[in-house]
Amino acid sequence: MVCLARSPFAAVAAIPAALSLAAGAAFGALAFAAPAQAEKRVALVIGNGAYVHAGALANPPNDAADVAAALKEAGFVTIVGADLDKRAFDGKLREFAHALAEADTALFFYAGHGLQVAGRNHLVPVDAQLASERDLDFEAVSLDFVLRQMELGRESRTSIVFLDACRDNPLARNLARSMGTRSAAVGQGLAQVQAGVGTFVAYSTQPGNVALDGTGRNSPFTAALVKRIAEPGRTLTALMIEVRKEVLAATSGRQVPWDHSALTGEFFFHPASAPGMAARPPGPDQDGEAEATQRRLRELEEELKRRPDARQAAALARLEQIKERLRQLEEANRADQQRIFEVYRKHPASDAAARATANREVGTIQIGMARRGQEQKALREEIARLEAETGAAATAK
C-alpha cells in the first residue's frame, strides 16, 4: 500500500508517477518467455570413448560429465551415459524418450565416434562392429531416430542437439572398404540434417569435416560449449557464435563449429538473467494475460467513475493513457516478431556471412523489444498501485 499525499493535487500528481513504475509485469511476459523454473527441461548426455573395435577416444566421457554438470546448473534434468555399448545406448534413449512427453525443452549431447553413409548420420556405441553396410542398422544408432523421438508429440517445443562426433573414424574407413563401388556413400565427418520446426542442431565442425578430440580434459568444441552454457544472459545463437570463435582460435582455423536452426524464438540457458527475458511469438498464454490486463483496466475505470472527484478524474485520464500506451507497445512487439521472422527468412542459414548479418539485425530488434518490455512492466505495476490506492481491487473482486 502506498501512502497518499495530504493535498488532493499532490495526490493527483503522485498517481501517474506511481503508476509508471510497472504495470507491465505481466504485460512484459506477453512478449517474453517464462522463467526456467516454470519449464520442464530434459537432457540426454552421452560420451563414448572406450571403443573395442576402433581407436579409443580420451575425452568424450569427460565431455559428457562436464556438459551434464553445466546443464544441471541451467535447470535440466539430465540422463547421463558414458562408454555405452549398443544395448546400454538403446536403454538410455528409451529412458530419454519416456521423459520427453512433458518436456518444454529437450536437449541431446553426444561425444564419440559418428559417421555418415548416403547422407544419413549414425552414432557409434563402443562395441560396434561395422563389417558391412547392413551392420549399421544393428550396431549403430541412427541420428534420425533420435531426432524423431525428440520431435514426436512436441510440436512448437524446443529441441537442441549438440554433436561432438566428427572425429577421424577408422570404422568408417573399414566400412567404406567393404562397400566396394558404393564406398563413396561413406562421407567424412557428419552430414548436415534438416531438422523440424523448433529444433536446433550444432556440430563441432562444419558438415563433411573432421573435428579434433583435443589434448586436454575436453575437446575444443566441448570446452568452449561448457564455458558458454555457464554464462548468463546469452541466447543460444549468441552462444554458438562465441563457441565458434573460441574453437577457431584453439584449432588455428582448422575446425569451424556449425549449426542449423529451425527455432521460432530465442532460447536462453539462463532465462532469468536475460534482458527482459527471451523473446517469443505471442501465444495462447500471452493472449490470456493481455485480456486479463484489459479486464483489470475496465474494472478499475468503472470503479473510478463511481467516485467523481478531482483526484478520480485525474486517475481516469491516466487510465486512458495507460490503455493507449499498452496497445501501442503490444502492436510494436507483434510487428517486431514478424520482422524477426522476415530477417531469418531473408538470410539463408547455410551462408555464414548472411547468418551473422541476420543475428545482428535480430539483436537490434530484440533490444527494442526488451526496452518495451520494461515499459510494459512499469505500466502494469502502475495499474496495481492505482488499484491499491483507490481500493478498486477489493471492490472488483
Burial category of 324 from C-beta neighbours within 10 Å (exposed 0-12, middle 13-18, buried 19 and up): exposed
Strand partners, 121: 116
pLDDT computed for residue 290 by the predictor: 64
Between 32 and 306, where is the model more confident?
306
Report strand pairing: 114-117 vs 120-123.
antiparallel
- DSSP secondary structure of 151-203: HTT-TTSEEEEEEE--S--HHHHHHHHHTGGGGGGEESS-----PPTTEEEEE
| Sheet with 105-111, edge to edge strand ranges | 76-82, 41-47, 105-111, 158-164, 199-203, 258-261
Between 32 and 105, where is the model more confident?
105
- Our measurement of the distance from residue 248's CA atom to the centroid of its chain's CA atoms, rounded to an integer in Å, reads 23
Q: Is the pLDDT of residue 8 over 60?
A: no
In eight-state DSSP terms, residue 131 is S
Say what percent of the chain tops pLDDT 90: 30
Domain with CATH 3.40.50.1460 in the chain: 36-273
Q: Sort residue 208 into left (φ over 0), alpha (ψ -120 to 50) or beta.
A: left
> pLDDT of 352-394, one tens digit each?
677 778 777 877 887 888 888 888 888 888 888 877 766 655 4
CA distances in angstroms from 318 to 13, 290, 310, listed in the order given: 10, 19, 13
Closest CA to 267 of 326, 202, 219: 202
Between 12 and 144, where is the model more confident?
144
Q: How confident is the model at residue 14 (pLDDT cuts 50, 70, 90)?
A: very low
Between 195 and 79, where is the model more confident?
79
Fold of 36-273: Rossmann fold (3.40.50)
Contact call for residues 156 and 205 (beta carbons, < 8 A): no
Between 183 and 345, where is the model more confident?
345
Between 338 and 235, where is the model more confident?
235
> pLDDT of 35-85, one tens digit each?
334 579 999 999 999 998 877 888 999 999 999 999 999 999 999 999 999
Between 242 and 34, where is the model more confident?
242
Query: How far apart (Å, rounded) are the C-alpha atoms in residues 12 and 190?
Result: 67
pLDDT computed for residue 236 by the predictor: 94
SS3 of the chain: helix, strand, coil, percent, to 5: 55, 15, 35
Q: Taking residues 225-254, report their average pLDDT.
A: 91
Q: How confident is the model at residue 193 (pLDDT cuts 50, 70, 90)?
A: confident
Q: Taking residues 205-226, report their average pLDDT.
A: 80
Q: Taking residues 98-124, report their average pLDDT.
A: 89
Query: How far apart (Å, rounded) are the C-alpha atoms in residues 199 and 160?
Result: 6
CA distances in angstroms from 19 to 291, 385, 390, listed in the order given: 19, 6, 12
Q: Is the pLDDT of residue 220 over 50?
A: yes
Q: Is the pLDDT of residue 133 over 60?
A: yes
Residue 315 CB coordination number (10 Å):
24
> pLDDT of 375-385, one tens digit each?
888 888 888 88
The residues, any chain, with a CB within 8 Å of residue 386's CB and separated by 6 or more, are: 15, 18, 19, 300, 315, 318, 319, 392
pLDDT computed for residue 284 by the predictor: 47
In a 3-state reduction of DSSP, which class is residue 123? strand
Query: How far apart (Å, rounded) are the C-alpha atoms in residues 83 and 299?
Result: 62
Question: Position of cell 510497472?
Answer: 22
Q: How confident is the model at residue 189 (pLDDT cuts 50, 70, 90)?
A: low
Q: Is the pLDDT of residue 172 over 80?
A: no
